[in-house]
Amino acid sequence: MASKANASPNITYNRRDVLGKGHYGVVFRGLFDGREVAIKRVLQEYAPMISNENEFLQLKHPNIVQLLVIEETEEFRFYAYDLAVENLDDFCRGKYSGTMPDDKEAMLQMAKGLEYIHSKQMIHCNLKPQNIRISKEVPTRLMIAVFGCCKKTGEGGYVSLSRMNETDEWIAPEVVEARQDRAEEEDVGDEDDSGEELHSVLSNIWTLGCLFFYFLTRGKHPFGNNSSDINWNMSVTRKPVELESKIGLT
């Protein structure tokens, strides 16, 4: 089988050049109108799982990963978007040694990207270092991955817990608490979902602050060094132990 495939007259990709795999598809390196991009290939049967895809086409900002075009065949749907070289987690762990904006500019770019998302009445539901991408183009800029990660807010500016997919270590404490309460209610058979609408702009800003700390310390989470410590300190002690250590409170 040839490694090169055509998704449409404007999109080509290499089946052997896999950039990543997700719940609903595979991401390849490819070309769109001669420009190097990332191509997400999704089986048509899973395409309905990706909501608001046309809204993502309308999002245009230098500090978000832009969805450029959607094409489809009988078997697949293809999404072409900005190609990144690595992500913030790779940089903080020393796996990426390429160019970066200076620290102040990097944090400003993250904040601008999130501000733009919020201006479109959206909440980011999986804000974490791996979803802060480093652009391939120079000058290097940071871009927040949005496709499949953002949800439109409901009345009052909230997103339902049932629509979230955020990683535990980067969820605001009030959301962790609500998730735990919901699990307890389900255990006792209480189907009341009145407490679901919780994740908000403020929750995103809390996570952004944690990302700033992670970036400035090159890989330290403010609430601990491993998942169990982070979850314990966020939900029980409510103490950002690494932050307190850095500023001399411990």
| Residue length of the chain | 250
Domain 4-82: give its CATH superfamily. Phosphorylase Kinase; domain 1 (3.30.200.20)
Q: Report the pLDDT value the prediction gives residue 186, as an integer from 0 to 100.
A: 61
CATH 3.30.200.20 in the chain is located at 4-82
Residue 223 DSSP label: T
**pLDDT above 70 for 166:** no
Of residues 164 and 204, which shows the higher confidence score? 204
Overall average pLDDT of the 217-238 stretch: 90
- C-alpha–C-alpha distance, residues 171 and 169, integer Å: 6
Q: What residues pair up with 84 in beta bridges, in sequence order? A: 135
User: The tokens of 80 are what?
Assistant: 């072409």
CATH 1.10.510.10 in the chain is located at 85-219
**pLDDT above 70 for 202:** yes
The pTM for the full model equals 0.86
Q: Report the pLDDT value the prediction gives residue 68, as an integer from 0 to 100.
A: 94
| pLDDT tens digits for range 138-152 | 999 999 999 888 888
Overall average pLDDT of the 191-205 stretch: 70
Query: Hey, what amino acid is at 187?
Result: D
Of residues 193 and 130, which shows the higher confidence score? 130
The angle at the Cα of 230, spanning 20 to 114, to the nearest 5 degrees, equals 55
Binding-site residue set: 40
**pLDDT above 90 for 238:** no
Residue 80 DSSP label: E
Instruction: Give whole-number Cα distances, 145 to 30, 34, 56, 83, 188, in Å.
Output: 18, 22, 11, 11, 37
Of residues 60 and 171, which shows the higher confidence score? 60
Closest among 229, 90, 123 to 168, alpha carbons compared:
229
Q: What is the CATH number of domain 85-219?
A: 1.10.510.10
Q: What residues pair up with 28 in beta bridges, in sequence order? A: 18, 39
**pLDDT above 70 for 212:** yes
- C-alpha–C-alpha distance, residues 81 and 39, integer Å: 7
**pLDDT above 80 for 51:** no
Q: What percent of the chain has pLDDT over 90?
A: 54
Q: What percent of the chain has pLDDT over 70?
A: 86
Percentage helix, strand, coil, to 5, in the chain? 35, 30, 35
Residue 3 DSSP label: S
User: The tokens of 24 are what?
Assistant: 């609903």
- C-alpha–C-alpha distance, residues 203 and 176, integer Å: 11
Q: Report the pLDDT value the prediction gives residue 213, as an integer from 0 to 100.
A: 96
Residue 163 DSSP label: G
Q: What is the mean pLDDT of the chain?
A: 86
**pLDDT above 80 for 184:** no
**pLDDT above 80 for 135:** yes
Binding-site residue set for ATP: 40
- C-alpha–C-alpha distance, residues 204 and 150, integer Å: 11
Q: Report the pLDDT value the prediction gives residue 195, as an integer from 0 to 100.
A: 46
Q: Report the pLDDT value the prediction gives residue 190, as an integer from 0 to 100.
A: 56
